[in-house]
Amino acid sequence: MNTTARSKFFSLALIAALLIISAGCASHTNSPTSNYNEPMNTKWLLEDIDGQGVMDFAHIWVRFDDDGKIYGSGGCNNFRGHYTITNGEFKTGPLAMTRKACPEAINLQEFKFMQALDNVRTMNTGNGLLYMEGDDHQLRFSNTY
């Protein structure tokens, strides 16, 4: 990837991360767990994006802390920001993201993850898994304890 293409990719990744403002989550009525205590204070490791497996060595993860902080890794770059839960609706604020240079395959997977995370509208837990869904995107995480 040449310098111009890499610069464009990182700009798009940063924009995708910042667009997460509009992401909102609420429990499904058929969810095994309907409160938001279980997903908090836990590191969640991404298992798949839109039903497709991910490169395990990229180690994409996210954590939501009780104090309203969200942070994680897209596989190459780290991100952090804030979230709120109001009337059962989960929303993230703008996320800051580092801008490291990584292999193209990792960059593309990270972009796909951040794009899906930007579109999340619901969050459910069950059997040690976290499911985040919205706008034709699905993320599935396992609990790393």
On average, the pLDDT of the chain sits at 77
Given a cut of 50, whether residue 32 has pLDDT beyond it is no
* Pairing relationship of beta strands 52-53 and 42-49 according to DSSP bridges: antiparallel
pLDDT in tens, 90-104: 777 788 999 999 999
Q: Would you give the distance in Å from CA 140 to the centre of its chain?
A: 10
3-state SS class at 82? strand
Q: Which domain holds residue 58?
A: 3-26+39-143
Whether 64 is in a domain gets the answer yes
* Structural domains in the chain (count): 1
Q: Count CB-CB contacts under 10 A for residue 120.
A: 23
pLDDT in tens, 50-92: 999 999 888 999 998 989 899 999 999 999 998 877 776 677 7
- Looking at mean pLDDT, say which of 25-29, 53-57, 121-125 comes out highest: 53-57
Whether 129 is in a domain gets the answer yes
What CATH number is attached to the domain comprising 17? 2.40.128.270
Mean pLDDT over 31-59 rounds to: 78
Cβ contacts of residue 5 below 8 Å, gap of 6+?
Answer: none
Q: How many CA atoms lie within 13 A of 106 on its CB side?
A: 15
Whether 32 is in a domain gets the answer no
Whether 97 is in a domain gets the answer yes
pLDDT of residue 56: 80
Whether 95 is in a domain gets the answer yes
Contact between 8 and 102 under an 8 Å Cβ cutoff? The reply is no
| Beta bridge mates, 47 | none
Given a cut of 60, whether residue 44 has pLDDT beyond it is yes
Whether 122 is in a domain gets the answer yes
Q: Terminus-to-terminus CA distance in the chain, angstroms?
A: 36
